[in-house]
A and B are shown apart, each in its own frame.
Chain A
Amino acid sequence: MTIGATIEAVPTELARGRGGGGPAPTRTVVAYGFWIFIISDIAMFSALFAAYAVLAGQTAGGPTAGDVINLRHVFIETVFLLLSSYACGLGALSAELRQPSRYLIFAALTFVLGAAFLFVEISDFVDMTRMGAVPSRSAFLSAFWTLVGMHGAHVTSGLVWLLYMAGQVVAKGLRPHVLRRLLCFSLFWHALDIIWVGVLTLVYLMGAR
């Protein structure tokens, strides 16, 4: 029995992803590594979610969740973030099809929608500051600002990263390593949506009832 015959005895669909069929493509390995980072980021967020969940009622006589939440704004934020994710996905498709100009258009859309999300979030934070709902006011507000602010900080760093990636596409073109970085960015941007689903549900929808 030759080695070739041994390998052929394993059905392709079973062999791939289980060490058969040679090493996985670099793209798969890179995406897996970045996926592990995302999981660790989600584990970090879980601590903030846990803190918020146990402190949400500890308002120390200050503003409650119902007082500081503007659900209209939150709905607009959610739609902005979803559309931004959609634009990011279409941009990833354009990049895979090696269409840099289309990629840049979708990247610009992704950026504008993400920035619009941040604008609404920051203006809400400014309103909260004006009404005295600052992090030092109560345990609830500390947890609120930390959790929502951490998500906002992630969106901000995502926007910076997006600018950097657009620069790389312009300067280097859609080379394989640039494509892999774009893939990581897409994973990051879509994962932020998953975090936002948690924030939306736990903080806003349950808080504003």
Chain B
Amino acid sequence: MEGVDHPVFDDRSPGVEEQEPAASVLTYTTGLLFALVLTLASFAVSQTNLLWGPGIPVGLIVLALAQIGVHLVFFLHIGFGPESTNNIVALAFGVWIVLLVIGGSILIIANLNANMMPM
């Protein structure tokens, strides 16, 4: 086994803490600024006529998705690194469930409402 001196395959016992590259104050500050700007934008879009009326819900949803992305990247530190792979797969499954439950409910109930007998 001599010659194996790669930094990752050192003689640490399994499960020993390694010093993670810590997120910096800058990461959190950037995230906070993005989040505040997106929040202000959401309030502005909902309370003014910046967007064409029927487009406002779409605009709000887009801003909310951007906001969620900011939180994931800057606060929850979900990235493209190998440490994040499993978390991203779990997250993708969660997003799938959320889309099924919310989208499915809205679709089905709207359909039922449309087919109700006139009262």
Known contacts A18-B82, A197-B67; is A39 also within 8 Å of B94 by CB?
yes
Set of chain B residues within 8 Å of A54, measured between Cβ atoms:
105-106, 109-110
Nearest-CB residue, chain A, relative to B91: A39
| Cβ–Cβ contact B83 & A43, under 8 A | no
| Cβ–Cβ contact B43 & A71, under 8 A | yes
Instruction: Provide the main secondary structure of the chain A interface.
Output: helix
User: Which candidate, A4-12, A115-123, A128-136, A155-163, is the interface stretch facing chain B?
Assistant: A4-12
| Cβ–Cβ contact B71 & A197, under 8 A | yes
State how many residues of chain B have any CB contact under 8 Å with chain A: 64
Which residue from A4, A29, A194, A206 sits with its C-beta under 8 Å from B60? A206
State in angstroms the CA–CA spacing of A36 and B89 once bound together.
Answer: 10
Which residue from B18, B35, B57, B104 sits with its C-beta under 8 Å from A25? B18
Set of chain B residues within 8 Å of A205, measured between Cβ atoms:
42-43, 45-46, 60
Set of chain B residues within 8 Å of A15, measured between Cβ atoms:
8
| Cβ–Cβ contact B91 & A4, under 8 A | no
| Cβ–Cβ contact B87 & A35, under 8 A | yes
Q: Does A153 contact B (CB under 8 A)?
A: no
Give residues 60-105 of A contacting B (CB, 8 Å). 71, 75, 78-79, 82-83, 85-86, 89-90, 92-93, 96-97
| Cβ–Cβ contact A206 & B28, under 8 A | no
| Cβ–Cβ contact A27 & B22, under 8 A | no
Known contacts A4-B3, A32-B87, A194-B72; is A75 also within 8 Å of B43 by CB?
yes
Mask: chain B, 41-73; 1 = CB below 8 Å from A; 0 = not: 011011100000000110011011001100110
| Cβ–Cβ contact A50 & B82, under 8 A | no
State in angstroms the CA–CA spacing of A16 and B9 once bound together.
Answer: 10
Interface hub of B14, B43, B64, B102 (most chain A Cβ within 10 A): B102
| Cβ–Cβ contact B106 & A53, under 8 A | yes
| Cβ–Cβ contact B102 & A25, under 8 A | no
Q: Can you give 27 A-B contacts (C-beta < 8 A)?
A: A2-B1, A8-B6, A12-B7, A17-B82, A17-B86, A18-B82, A27-B17, A32-B90, A35-B90, A36-B90, A39-B90, A43-B101, A46-B98, A46-B101, A46-B102, A51-B105, A54-B110, A82-B32, A86-B28, A86-B32, A193-B75, A194-B71, A197-B71, A198-B64, A205-B43, A205-B46, A206-B46
| Chain B residues at the A interface, C-beta cutoff of 8 Å | 1-4, 6-9, 12, 14-18, 20, 22-25, 27-29, 31-32, 35-36, 39, 42-43, 45-47, 56-57, 60-61, 63-64, 67-68, 71-72, 75-76, 81-87, 90-91, 93-94, 97-98, 101-102, 104-106, 109-110
| Chain A residues at the B interface, C-beta cutoff of 8 Å | 2-4, 7-8, 12-18, 21-29, 31-32, 35-36, 39-40, 42-43, 46-47, 49-51, 53-54, 71, 75, 78-79, 82-83, 85-86, 89-90, 92-93, 96-97, 176, 187, 190-191, 193-194, 197-198, 200-201, 205-206, 208-209
